[in-house]
Structure 1
Amino acid sequence: MYPQKTSFSFMQSNTFRLMLIGILTLVLLIPLFLVQNLVEERKDRQMSVVNEIAGKWGREVFFYGPILKIPYKLYSDKNKNSFEIQYAYFFPEELKNVSNVKTEVKKRNNYESVVFNATMDFSGSYIVPDFSQKGIPNEDISWDRATILIRTTNLASIKNGVTIKIGAKDYAFEPIYDRQDNDSNYYDNNEMPNEVASLETGFINYQEFLTNSSFSFTIQYDGSKRIAIVPIGKTTESQLTSNWANPSFTGNFLPYEKQITPEGFNASWKVLHINRPFSQQSFGTLPNISQYTYDVDFIIPVDEYQQNERATKYGFLVIGLTFLIFFLIQSISKIRIHIFQYSMIGLALILFYTLLISITEHSSFSFAYILSSLMTVGLIALYSISILKSKKFPAFIAASLVALYGFIYVIIQLENYALLVGSIGLFTILAIVMYVSRKVEWSAAEIEK
């Protein structure tokens, strides 16, 4: 009788085990994807609450004015038998703005939104309007029917009666239906249309002010998120102070001087007419210049949901590397780990992200990240003791997971160097795996019968 030959079982090879682990990793992408959807849902809910608070308190403030508006006759034939009324728009020669913005944080459940009360003082002057470039004679100009126009958002949030003083006379602004199709909607930083409306004075006999056309007025807003002003003066100077310590300066023109402290900020702008692509006067229609603004954003500086979203994007990496650590320990120590046990470890890693987002909503992201990672690492380490029947390997696994979570936290916090640090870290991990796995037997295991 011949001796029985040694047989090989592919089902017990390291290659097959690695294939099962790979399939399980892909399957775990399903709950990871659901967690990512949860983060997105909570983020959308936050934006919904922020927009709801803004809708009740006051939305973004967009300001464009004051504009001198003078009607004139435009004849349709050479004999001047018929004509239509057109309007000429003149921007100030000088425009100065001093604004003080007081902010506060409104809370609803777990969500926060920044709102403010802004007091904006404007002053300046006009030069004598020039109609000569259009060949319009003085008798065709209705000087006595001139008005002052302001284009702005948030009429419902204006907190004072707005009156402009020209020379020694006061003129009250009134809301009018004057739809300008070219800038009827000003889009806020959430791409939500914020309707632009008009405030206009009654008729002014502007010939009375040709020698003294200085003006001043004050307007107060309740608003949120941003203030945007179009610098329409030939020379526009603006100064804005606030108790908000985390401003973001955006738009087409940045402040030439700013000071930011924990108590607030002070910023100054100076914009000349040669710095913008529009002239000081327009005939026929008011131009669309709503995109040429200098802006201040009043935002919550740390977006917790964005950090949670970035953390979940590394979920596949965490699961894959954790499984790889267990696989290498299994291959080196010859300890068998069932696929069910891998599944439990994978679900614990997924649960980390639900813990992270839920704790973040009641504290800071850093505290939530530390607490969630410690809970997850502790759970896996304790479970590993029962699997591996020792404390040496679980200690190594816990240390590896702490290093991995710490590495990912650093990447999340970095902006300019995230790609560099991430690439170096992944290269280091790959080098360690290649070194440790160099003696792993990938062929089928021999089983004597």
Structure 2
Amino acid sequence: MQKKLLFKALIVGMLMLLLGVPLAMIQSTISERIAYREEAASSIAADSVGEQHIYGPVLVMPYSEVYSVEEKDKDGKPEMKRYRKQSQHLVFPNELEVLSNLGTERRHRGIHQVLMFNGAHKINGDFIVPAATELPHTENGSQITPERPFIALAVADVRGVRDIPRLVWGTRSVEFEQGSGLRSSRQGLHATLSMEEAAPGPVKFSFNLNLAGMNSQGFVPLARNNRFVMSSPWPHPQFSGRFLPEQYSLDAKGFQAVWRISSLASEAQAQLRLREQSAGQGENALPALDTIQAAFIEPVNVYSMADRATKYGLLFVALTFAAFFLFEVMKRLPIHPVQYLLVGLALALFFLLLVSLSEHYDFVASYIAASAACIVLIGYYLAHVLHDWKRGLGFGGALCALYGILFGLLNSENNALMLGAILLFAVLATIMVATRKVDWYNLNNPAPMPVEQT
């Protein structure tokens, strides 16, 4: 009997490993669907607009500088040579406040969908405009000739600009034009000022920017004092970047987040100046900028959830086969390897049903439908295999508990390891308790009959 039991255990183990092949194929199918979704997202971004990243406004003050340098001629005699140099000086806001309201919508490409947003940004603050004598000089005594300054606003994808904004500069209004005017980032907008409008001293500014994008919205804290307020009806934000919100509120109606960042905490000003100096040396030579960012994430990514579920597929099969094997041992009711295989295939098909249904319907509803179909099928089949409908119902109830535990694992990513460890311990404990009185050496021998004493 021991050899027969060992042989049956080896066959069951081989069947379990064999079922890893369809599970791997299903996981490969899910990976392909993930790739298709990413292609759809890239296609939508290529046809409409991508992730958004804004830095500015920055006051750019171009100027020409004429200076003299003493050099030696061919005969070694000193002579004065005059040079002209074109430069620009970046002036950052003293105070900057950005109030952003970000509405969301979905764009579809086939069966795939991508989350888009429409941002309404109210941007205001003030600059302290320097005098021409305060512009950086290459040589002492050089002559500075200021040129018309402009306000630069870099935008990652200008296709998202929904209308032409107007800059309110002091008491005057100036329309933005295409191109940021910055050397390191050409994409964006600029508003050209007159020399009179750039007179030295403090000046207030404001403008509204309607900007659409996909996935995330980011800003760079370039001012001396920065305040960003983002609000949206989307209840699933993800904050990232160099700084997290100072405070935020989140509920079913959406979120609101507030950042307050000073130039003492950020190196964005120095980074942008270095980017302007390094422009033309390639993208890799440009330093990254300190940013704040809010991403709009899906609460349930059906493909990632299905992919995680398939990782527990072999565990599902192993637990079910272990229950069958114990049933054989304890009830002395043989189960054919083909019956093991059919039940294992039904368990594997659950994952394929899950991902195919969830592409069209809500994930929770798809999970319930796929698990219910498999539980009913397996329960009905086992009621006939085990010659008792109660036994079929018992296995069906155990599968209900197993699918319920899997759903808990999928929705508790942070606690998945702990829950999985508890599940395995509980299964092992159940097996040990159930088989505590089994005599594995005498499974084929009937229990001895008690002897009546006369």
TM-score, normalization by structure 1: 0.85
Indicate the larger mover: 324-333 or 119-128. Answer: 119-128
SS at the partner of 2:201?
Answer: coil
Query: Structure 1 residue runs of 4+, over 6 Å off?
Result: 442-446
SS at the partner of 1:121?
Answer: strand
1:216 aligned to which of 206, 228, 236 = 206
SS at the partner of 2:234?
Answer: coil
Which residue number in structure 2 is paired with residue 187 of structure 1? none
Which residue number in structure 2 is paired with residue 237 of structure 1? 227
Could you give the per-residue CA deviations for residues 218-270 of structure 1, whole angstroms, max 9, x where no partner exists?
22112221110101110011222323233222222222233334333333221
Shift of 1:445: 6.6
Which residue number in structure 2 is paired with residue 327 of structure 1? 325
Shift of 1:318: 0.2
Partner Cα distance (1:32, 1:76) in 2 = 77
Structure 1's unaligned 5+ residue stretches are: 1-7, 185-195
Shift of 1:322: 0.5
After the TM superposition, which residues 52-131 of structure 1 pair with which residues of structure 2 at under 5 Å, given as runs?
A: 52-72=43-63, 73=65, 77-78=69-70, 79=80, 81-129=82-130, 131=134
Which residue number in structure 1 is paired with residue 452 of structure 2? none
Kept in 2: contact 1:120–1:218 (CA 8 A): yes
Shift of 1:422: 1.5
Give % identity.
29
Kept in 1: contact 2:68–2:142 (CA 8 A): no
Q: Answer 1 or 2: higher relative contact order, Cα 8 Å, separation at least 6.
A: 1
Which residue number in structure 2 is paired with residue 167 of structure 1? 170
Which residue number in structure 2 is paired with residue 41 of structure 1? 32
SS at the partner of 1:435?
Answer: helix
Partner Cα distance (1:75, 1:331) in 2 = 99
Residues 269 and 283 of structure 1, relative CA distance in 2, 3 Å threshold: closer
SS at the partner of 2:250?
Answer: strand
Partner Cα distance (1:51, 1:97) in 2 = 29
SS at the partner of 1:372?
Answer: helix
SS at the partner of 1:297?
Answer: strand
Shift of 1:150: 1.7
Residues 159 and 76 of structure 1, relative CA distance in 2, 3 Å threshold: farther
Indicate the larger mover: 95-104 or 65-74. Answer: 65-74
Which residue number in structure 1 is paired with residue 440 of structure 2? 441
Shift of 1:91: 1.2
Which residue number in structure 1 is paired with residue 261 of structure 2? 271
Letter of the structure 1 residue corresponding to residue 125 of structure 2: G
Shift of 1:56: 3.3
SS at the partner of 2:147?
Answer: helix
Kept in 2: contact 1:76–1:83 (CA 8 A): no
Kept in 2: contact 1:89–1:286 (CA 8 A): no
2:154 aligned to which of 151, 155, 169 = 151
Indicate the larger mover: 57-66 or 309-318. Answer: 57-66
Which residue number in structure 2 is paired with residue 246 of structure 1? 236
1:369 aligned to which of 367, 385, 390 = 367
Kept in 1: contact 2:49–2:213 (CA 8 A): yes
Shift of 1:138: 8.2
SS at the partner of 1:311?
Answer: helix
Residues 200 and 75 of structure 1, relative CA distance in 2, 3 Å threshold: farther
Residues 125 and 53 of structure 1, relative CA distance in 2, 3 Å threshold: same
Which residue number in structure 1 is paired with residue 424 of structure 2? 426
Partner Cα distance (1:56, 1:264) in 2 = 28
Which residue number in structure 2 is paired with residue 310 of structure 1? 308
Kept in 2: contact 1:57–1:115 (CA 8 A): no
State whether structure 2 residue 20 is matched by structure 1 residue 29.
yes
Partner Cα distance (2:163, 2:213) in 1 = 14
Aligned length: 424
Partner Cα distance (2:199, 2:177) in 1 = 21
Shift of 1:346: 1.0
Which residue number in structure 2 is paired with residue 294 of structure 1? 292
SS at the partner of 1:369?
Answer: helix
Indicate the larger mover: 123-132 or 381-390. Answer: 123-132
Letter of the structure 1 residue corresponding to residue 422 of structure 2: I
TM-score, normalization by structure 2: 0.84
Residues 76 and 258 of structure 1, relative CA distance in 2, 3 Å threshold: farther
Which residue number in structure 2 is paired with residue 228 of structure 1? 218
Partner Cα distance (1:51, 1:261) in 2 = 30
Indicate the larger mover: 379-388 or 104-113. Answer: 104-113
Shift of 1:352: 0.7
Shift of 1:213: 2.7
Cα RMSD (Å): 2.9
Which residue number in structure 2 is paired with residue 406 of structure 1? 404
Kept in 2: contact 1:162–1:173 (CA 8 A): yes
Could you give the per-residue CA deviations for residues 65-90 of structure 1, whole angstroms, max 9, x where no partner exists?
11122234386945452243222222
Residues 363 and 211 of structure 1, relative CA distance in 2, 3 Å threshold: same
State whether structure 2 residue 23 is matched by structure 1 residue 20.
no
SS at the partner of 2:410?
Answer: helix
Shift of 1:31: 0.6
Partner Cα distance (1:284, 1:206) in 2 = 29
Partner Cα distance (1:122, 1:286) in 2 = 27
Partner Cα distance (1:116, 1:386) in 2 = 55
SS at the partner of 1:418?
Answer: helix
Residues 331 and 9 of structure 1, relative CA distance in 2, 3 Å threshold: closer
Indicate the larger mover: 19-28 or 107-116. Answer: 107-116
Shift of 1:289: 6.2
Partner Cα distance (1:25, 1:442) in 2 = 25
Residues 278 and 55 of structure 1, relative CA distance in 2, 3 Å threshold: closer
Could you give the per-residue CA deviations for residues 266-293 of structure 1, whole angstroms, max 9, x where no partner exists?
3322111111124468379258565411
Partner Cα distance (2:443, 2:327) in 1 = 18
Shift of 1:348: 0.5
Indicate the larger mover: 118-127 or 24-33. Answer: 118-127
Partner Cα distance (2:198, 2:89) in 1 = 18
Shift of 1:333: 1.9
Which residue number in structure 2 is paired with residue 337 of structure 1? 335
Letter of the structure 1 residue corresponding to residue 204 of structure 2: S
Shift of 1:356: 1.0
